Amino acid sequence: MRKVLQCLMSLEIGGAETHVVELSKYLAKKGYEVIVASNGGTYEKELVDAGVKVIRIPMHSKKPFFIVQSLFLLNKLIRNFRPDIVHAHARIPGLYVSIFEKIYNFRMVTTVHGKFKINWLLKHITQWGKEIFVVSEDLKAYLIENYPVERANIFNTVNGIDTDRFYPSIASEIEYDIIHVSRLDQGTSKTAEMLIDYTRESNVNVLVVGSGSELDNLREKSAEIYNISFQGATNRVDLELRKAKVFVGISRSALEAMSMNMPVVLSGDYGYMGIMQSSVLDEAIQNNFTARVSTNLDYEKLRQDLDVILKMSPELFSWERDFIQNHYSISKMSEDYIRVYENE
């Protein structure tokens, strides 16, 4: 039985975090002994319930105290667990894991979930594993362009979606016209701000799900608006998506909405792609449905697309669930990893 240690910054709500949770649960079902090390968070219980051990190591912070504590705890964990593979999912965990790679003779694997900020220092301290996974083609191009990595060591995977959890809702469950799911930090809250403006000039009911440093500010800005609600974080996004007709956002949450045959508008701080239709599907696949494109997020474009999509027939989006089941399943994602894990 192979031993796998997954290392990430936290287990709070997020695309990379859900990716690790679903992968770890699948590996445990397949007989792997899996430990997930992070600063902890919402998804800890789900992992424990699935038979995956979780260890708290504060790899979320660059503060000196947490750095020392993380290195001490990670060294202790690796020394006692003796993993065959240590899989890092962010820059800080990747750096820490690389320190112990030669000492304990394990295989280091990394997954790139997004584009890191680059400067001379950050570029030189970023460490990659023997094998590197990317969740989209544009991330592969970014890696090759910016880091001294070999193309042959880069492997493709997807963000696997639990289609048993994310299935189409019924009319009686719907309470809102639009739902937006996102981290609400300084660099990820522009769409939420624009939805506040949209509700000011319409009777459309909007639910925003997610937390972050900007949540309180957004709630304050929308305090006098009756038709928008900022709920905060949840680990049951499926239940919240079931309450709305249309999804606005990007990345994993957009894929989850597509698994439910929801009309989708791809809108995020990285860029804007508009209504999810077959004409933009290939480009969306290339950037992992993040809207990392040359078109900037613009309120007028968003407003026009929302006015249109709210009037479109749901039948126009009936293809989405089959697409997710065929190309973005948890089993596909996890088997991508297993093929590399098992290849000595």
What CATH number does residue 54 fall under? Answer: 3.40.50.2000
- The DSSP letter of residue 296 is P
CA dihedral sign, ordered 259, 261, 267, 272? positive
pLDDT at 334 over 90: yes
Residue 214: CB partners within 8 Å, gap ≥ 6? 184, 185, 186, 189, 192
**Pairwise CA distance, residues 291 & 302, whole Å:** 13
In this structure, the answer to whether residues 255 and 289 fall within a common structural domain is yes
Q: 202 in a domain, yes or no?
A: yes
In this structure, the answer to whether residues 202 and 191 fall within a common structural domain is yes
* Mean pLDDT value across residues 181-185: 93
Per-residue confidence band for 42, with pLDDT thresholds at 50, 70 and 90: confident
The separation between CA 23 and the C-alpha centre of its own chain, rounded to angstroms, equals 13
* Mean pLDDT value across residues 124-150: 92
Q: How many domains does the chain have?
A: 2
In this structure, the answer to whether residues 123 and 60 fall within a common structural domain is yes
Phi/psi region, residue 251 (left: phi>0; alpha: psi -120 to 50; beta: rest), is left
Per-residue confidence band for 116, with pLDDT thresholds at 50, 70 and 90: confident
Q: What is the pLDDT of residues 53-109, one digit of tens each?
A: 999 999 999 999 999 999 999 999 999 999 999 999 999 999 999 999 989 999 999
Q: What is the mean pLDDT of the chain?
A: 94
Q: Which pLDDT score is estimated for 121?
A: 79
Q: Which pLDDT score is estimated for 1?
A: 67
pLDDT at 125 over 90: no
DSSP per-residue letters across 20-83: HHHHHHHHHHTT-EEEEEES--TTHHHHHHTT-EEEE--TT--SHHHHHHHHHHHHHHHHHH--
pLDDT at 130 over 70: yes
In this structure, the answer to whether residues 141 and 52 fall within a common structural domain is yes
Q: 166 in a domain, yes or no?
A: no
- Residue entry with tokens 């006015």: 307
**Both structure tokens of 105:** 């003779």
In this structure, the answer to whether residues 112 and 199 fall within a common structural domain is no
In this structure, the answer to whether residues 39 and 138 fall within a common structural domain is yes
Q: 183 in a domain, yes or no?
A: yes
In this structure, the answer to whether residues 200 and 114 fall within a common structural domain is no
* Mean pLDDT value across residues 16-29: 96
Q: Which pLDDT score is estimated for 131?
A: 96
| Tally of CB atoms within 10 A around 213 | 13
In this structure, the answer to whether residues 21 and 124 fall within a common structural domain is yes
Q: Which pLDDT score is estimated for 286?
A: 94
Q: 165 in a domain, yes or no?
A: no
In this structure, the answer to whether residues 140 and 186 fall within a common structural domain is no
* Mean pLDDT value across residues 211-232: 95
Q: 14 in a domain, yes or no?
A: yes
In this structure, the answer to whether residues 212 and 151 fall within a common structural domain is no
In this structure, the answer to whether residues 139 and 208 fall within a common structural domain is no
Q: What is the pLDDT of residues 271-320, one digit of tens each?
A: 999 999 989 999 999 999 999 987 999 999 999 999 999 999 999 999 99
Q: 151 in a domain, yes or no?
A: yes
Per-residue confidence band for 155, with pLDDT thresholds at 50, 70 and 90: very high
Per-residue confidence band for 134, with pLDDT thresholds at 50, 70 and 90: very high
pLDDT at 146 over 80: yes
Q: Can you give the residue range of the structural domain that contains 54?
A: 3-160+329-341
| % of residues, the chain, pLDDT over 70 | 99
Q: Which pLDDT score is estimated for 69?
A: 97
* Angstrom distances, CA of residue 115 to CA of 145, 146, 209: 12, 10, 24
* Mean pLDDT value across residues 166-170: 94
| 210 contacts 181 by C-beta, under 8 angstroms | yes
In this structure, the answer to whether residues 201 and 251 fall within a common structural domain is yes
* Angstrom distances, CA of residue 318 to CA of 200, 253, 297: 31, 17, 26
pTM: 0.90
